[in-house]
Chain A
Amino acid sequence: MDHDRHTGKGYGRSDDGRDEISRSIKRVYDQVVDEPIPDSLQSLLDRLKQEGRRG
């Protein structure tokens, strides 16, 4: 129903729960994908690259 779609929380609700769940899974996943890489992980990458250059 129209009043259920695209609420103020930006969360669409359709008559088909399958679509709603699919969208949510993707959104949660994409949220993490879009986060910057944490410093600890970046430090690890820098260290690995440096060690690689040293051979």
Chain B
Amino acid sequence: MMDHDLRQEELVSHIPALRAFARSLANDASHADDLVQETVLKGWSNLGSYTAGTNMRAWLFTILRNTFYSEFRKFRREVEDVDGKIAAQVPDRAAQDGVMDMRDFEKAFAQLPADQREALTLVGASGLTYDEAAQICGCAVGTVKSRVNRARARLSEILGTNERTDGPAAATPV
């Protein structure tokens, strides 16, 4: 099999992760899949410029992220909570009955700013290191850690969990 075919196969293997990352950014399944399509098209046509042996998932995540933010700047498609519609969906504090379900979590997660959602997703779910996440986001490692901490604190506040954000250890686990 030719090297190019192998790269195409690898690209296809990253699509599920791309969809999950896109969903965290776009907050909307249909928009997320549009982003993935766009990313696949760009990645496919630029496979020649991908350096073999490097992290293709990180490369594709960067393309997807750039696509999202460039689109965001152009069309402002992300829903702004001007009418408090999202806030109105926020669950009662989970601590009231000691139970949170995934829907509660997703609603809370959707309230976070995009940069915090992406930091949490990249480091906390996709298995990337802080260094890799920082490269994808085009910022310093400390910025990623700070976004993760702020996101966790906000989620904790909304969901009523006990979150510690003080001290250096708070930035490490996700």
Interface residues of A (CB under 8 A from B): 3-4, 7-9, 11, 13, 15-18, 20-22, 24-35, 37-38, 40-41, 44-45, 48-49, 52
Contacts and interface: CB of A to CB of B under 8 A. Distances in A.
A41 B102 contact: no
Given A9-B101, A13-B100, A40-B33, A18 B20 contact: no
Contact of A17 (B44, B126, B156): B156
B23 to A, nearest CB: 5
A21 B155 contact: yes
B118 to A, nearest CB: 12
Q: Tell me the interface secondary structure of chain B in the complex.
A: helix
Interface of B: 8, 12, 15-17, 19-20, 23-24, 33, 36-37, 40-41, 44, 94, 98-102, 105-106, 109, 120-121, 124-126, 152, 155-156, 159, 161-164, 173-174
B12 A45 contact: yes
